[in-house]
């Protein structure tokens, strides 16, 4: 293993939080974390049509399959140490404060038409010049809402989460308005269409529904109780369809079903809807929605959906029926909205182990052959790799026994699918003697809690006395966390190694439900409420042994771990821990890889964007950011230069500094 020493610098304008509140907030972030000739290395597949421009970044993961790989190599191992700040854009869209007050910036920009497009926590979309960062236009999605959607948005501006926008352009060249469109989902359940060149609303989109410029999930049946939650991740474009997920309240037994809808990119007419909940169970349970990013395969006309747990999470006594499309990778036919194939990664989820990101649709080299696959990361730290046509596992999957539930009204599924022959990228087991403590007192406290709680390894279910869940529901893996390099056949993936303590407590009839956050809330429609906390010691350090955040490289032929390094630096008790400790940092976001032999990644609690050697994991450069870049960077070519760009707005849920900055780095002008 390589444990490099980071030359990280702390940016000014920080207002770090400390101790237990910091790590608790980091955890709350979760809820709220792709043919070559035979015998040669697999090569990157470029999509057909205009997206063949390798200098652009047109999709969340650059290509429709979400590989998070760029073929650009102007910036490479030999010169990356010379990267310098090229420009900074400030939107003004941020709010300082803790969770629920301050802003969280997780946007992953796009670059098309010489413009960088990104959204902000205040429901606005910006287009800036890709070379200079100069502002070109701004679209205010909240101001565009009318009627019921405007009422749902409310009178006050409040921060929300936006992980990005989607881009579409018509196949035939045209100078007509809205021939190129940016699509943005918002926290009210609306999807807006914006002219990519002017920033004006495309009023033909949604006009037939009575609100020109956008469509709304509220115009359709919700199939359950509660309200349709907004979209934190961008839609995905497949041909002339824009496909959008929807949010659900998984703390309600009969939550609204997690419907995914495909809309005509021009008119906004709904073409199809996919519901992961069977009709006969729709009045019993809900959710299984897609909150994370999606990926698409234009050649096969498939969209890949990572679905979540059915409601309620942590307790399944009221949903005993088979729900095969929940917690599943679902390849959906773009023409019909019907599943082509699916694979459930967790049966009868009691752990909130929903799928936290898109399947990477890439071409790997396996056993001497190029294979088109879908690689799905999970919160458990497992990697599932499927044949893209059939859904058959490329690395074998076994059903293994797991611990039973101790609740009289609950039955845990007896087995869970475990991939074999490929390394896990996150730690999955704890031992009492390995528990961490910064002091003897802290270590002893962690051991006492361990002794008092239920822990039977991976998939330990929640209990009345309290259970330790490891990996936590944050993961393991989380959104944006993986990238694939076709030259080396390496998957680069980040992990978080934290645990949570959870208890199911009886709900008192007519009693107050108590605090509500990601780990503490009523499970409405059930006999229980869930009480939980990040498992950390009184001094604010995790009870799990470090490193608490890692970045790994996995060989997609052998399935072996090529290297693993601690990622980032943790700040606790008012001190940023030295990189030499090798303890890493909890993180939100993920890496990209480039043909220059580099991995670019931020995502940690410190204020740094890093460049690592793709083949060794050695850190080669770090650049200071105004606030943590807890998202995914992008890279593109504009004019004569390659740029690396990241939204560095921090994360109120993680207790970091907040900012409104989007930051670009490049080699000095005139450099090769």
pLDDT of residue 430: 96
pLDDT digits (tens, 9 = 90+) for 583-619: 999 999 999 999 999 999 999 999 999 999 999 999 9
Q: Average pLDDT in the 115-133 region? A: 97
CA torsion sign for 387, 391, 392, 393 is positive
pLDDT of residue 10: 27
Residue 629: which residues within 8 A CB-CB, separation 6 or more? 589, 602, 603, 609, 646, 647, 648, 663
Contact by Cβ (8 Å): 594, 601: no
Q: Is the pLDDT of residue 134 over 80?
A: yes
* Residue bearing the bigger pLDDT, 48 or 653: 653
| The one catalytic residue among 63, 249, 250, 352 | 352
Confidence of residue 520 (pLDDT cuts 50, 70, 90): confident
For strands 592-594 and 69-70, give the pairing: parallel
3-state secondary structure 49-113: HHHHCCCCECECCECCCCCCEECCCCCCCCCHHHCEEEEEEECCCCCCCCCCCCCECCCCCEEEC
Has 352 been annotated as catalytic?
yes
Sheet strands (E) in 205-259: 214-216, 236-238, 241-244
pLDDT of residue 121: 94
**3-state helix vs strand vs coil in the chain, percent to 5:** 10, 35, 55
* Residue bearing the bigger pLDDT, 343 or 151: 343
Contact by Cβ (8 Å): 251, 311: yes
The token pair that represents 327 in the structure block: 């917690």
* Residue bearing the bigger pLDDT, 427 or 655: 427
Determine the Cα–Cα distance for residues 177 and 195; give it in Å rounded to an integer.
Answer: 7
pLDDT digits (tens, 9 = 90+) for 241-294: 999 999 898 889 999 999 999 999 999 999 999 999 999 999 999 999 999 999
Q: Average pLDDT in the 26-48 region? A: 37
β-sheet bridge partners, residue 532: 502
pLDDT digits (tens, 9 = 90+) for 149-171: 788 777 557 788 999 999 999 99
pLDDT of residue 529: 93
Q: Is the pLDDT of residue 32 over 90?
A: no
Residue 509 CB-density burial (10 A; 0-12 exposed, 13-18 middle, 19+ buried): exposed
Give me the phi and psi of 302, to 5 degrees please.
Answer: -120, 145
pLDDT of residue 451: 98
Determine the Cα–Cα distance for residues 331 and 386; give it in Å rounded to an integer.
Answer: 11
* Residue bearing the bigger pLDDT, 132 or 102: 132
Q: In this prediction, what percent of the chain has a pLDDT beyond 70? A: 89
For strands 260-264 and 214-216, give the pairing: unpaired
Select 19-34+60-141+153-614+623-666's CATH number: 3.40.50.1100, 3.40.50.720, 2.60.40.1150, 2.140.10.10.
Answer: 2.140.10.10
C-beta atoms surrounding 504 within 10 Å: 28
pLDDT digits (tens, 9 = 90+) for 548-566: 999 999 999 999 999 999 9
Confidence of residue 513 (pLDDT cuts 50, 70, 90): low
Average pLDDT, the chain: 89
Domain extents for the chain? 19-34+60-141+153-614+623-666
pLDDT of residue 594: 98
């Amino acid at each position: 293993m390589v444990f490099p020493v980071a030359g990280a610098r702390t940016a000014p304008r920080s207002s770090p939080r400390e101790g237990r509140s910091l790590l608790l907030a980091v955890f709350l972030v979760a809820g709220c974390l792709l043919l070559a000739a035979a015998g040669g290395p697999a090569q990157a597949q470029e999509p057909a049509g205009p997206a063949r421009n390798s200098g652009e970044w047109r999709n969340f993961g650059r290509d429709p399959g979400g590989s998070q790989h760029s073929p650009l190599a102007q910036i490479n191992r030999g010169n990356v140490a010379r990267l310098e700040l090229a420009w900074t854009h400030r939107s003004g869209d941020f709010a300082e404060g803790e969770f629920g007050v301050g802003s969280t910036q997780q946007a992953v920009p796009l670059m098309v038409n010489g413009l960088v497009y990104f959204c902000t926590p205040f429901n606005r979309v910006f287009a800036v010049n890709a070379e200079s960062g100069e502002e070109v236009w701004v679209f205010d999605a909240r101001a565009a809402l009318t009627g019921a959607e405007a009422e749902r948005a409310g009178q006050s501006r409040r921060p929300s989460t936006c992980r990005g926008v989607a881009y579409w352009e018509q196949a035939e060249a045209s100078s007509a308005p809205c021939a190129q469109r940016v699509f943005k989902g918002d926290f009210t359940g609306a999807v807006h269409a914006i002219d990519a060149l002017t920033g004006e609303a495309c009023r033909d989109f949604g006009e037939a529904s009575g609100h020109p410029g956008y469509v709304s999930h509220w115009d359709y049946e919700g199939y359950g109780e509660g309200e349709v939650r907004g979209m934190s991740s961008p839609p995905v474009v497949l041909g002339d369809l824009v496909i959008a997920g929807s949010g659900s309240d998984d703390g309600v037994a009969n939550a609204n079903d997690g419907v995914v809808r495909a809309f005509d990119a021009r008119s906004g007419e709904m073409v199809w809807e996919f519901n992961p909940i069977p009709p006969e169970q729709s009045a019993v349970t809900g959710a299984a929605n897609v909150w994370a990013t999606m990926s698409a395969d234009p050649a096969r006309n498939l969209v890949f959906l990572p679905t979540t747990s059915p409601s309620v999470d942590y307790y399944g006594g009221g949903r005993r029926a088979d729900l095969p499309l929940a917690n599943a990778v679902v390849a959906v036919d773009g023409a019909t909205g019907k599943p082509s194939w699916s694979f459930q990664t967790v049966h009868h989820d009691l752990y909130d182990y929903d799928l936290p990101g898109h399947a990477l649709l890439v071409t790997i080299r396996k056993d001497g052959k190029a294979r088109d696959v879908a690689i799905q990361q999970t919160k458990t730290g497992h990697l599932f790799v499927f044949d893209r046509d059939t859904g058959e596992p490329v690395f074998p999957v076994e059903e293994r026994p797991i611990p039973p539930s101790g609740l009289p009204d609950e039955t845990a599924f007896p087995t869970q699918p475990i991939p074999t022959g490929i390394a896990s990228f996150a730690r999955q087991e704890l031992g009492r003697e390995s528990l961490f403590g910064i002091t003897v007192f802290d270590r002893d406290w962690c051991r006492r809690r361990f002794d008092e709680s239920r822990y039977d390894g991976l998939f330990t279910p929640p209990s009345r006395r309290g259970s330790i869940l490891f990996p936590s529901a944050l993961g393991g893996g989380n959104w944006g966390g993986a990238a694939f390099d076709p030259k080396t056949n390496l998957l680069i993936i980040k992990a978080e190694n934290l645990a949570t303590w959870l208890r199911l407590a009886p709900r008192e009839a007519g009693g107050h439900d108590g605090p509500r956050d990601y780990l503490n809330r009523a499970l409405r429609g059930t006999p229980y409420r869930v009480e939980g906390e990040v498992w950390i010691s009184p001094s604010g350090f995790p009870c799990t042994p470090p490193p608490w955040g890692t970045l790994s490289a996995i060989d997609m032929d052998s399935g072996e771990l090529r290297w693993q390094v601690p990622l980032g630096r943790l700040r606790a008790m008012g001190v940023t821990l030295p990189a030499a400790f090798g303890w890493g940092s909890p993180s939100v976001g993920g890496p990209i890889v480039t043909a220059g032999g580099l991995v670019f990644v931020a995502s940690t609690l410190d204020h740094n964007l890093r460049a690592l050697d793709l083949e060794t994991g050695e850190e080669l450069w770090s650049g200071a950011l105004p606030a943590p870049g807890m998202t995914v960077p992008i890279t593109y070519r504009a004019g004569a230069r390659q740029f690396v760009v990241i939204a560095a707005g921090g994360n109120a849920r993680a207790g970091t500094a907040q900012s409104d900055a989007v930051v670009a780095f490049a080699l000095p002008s005139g450099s090769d």
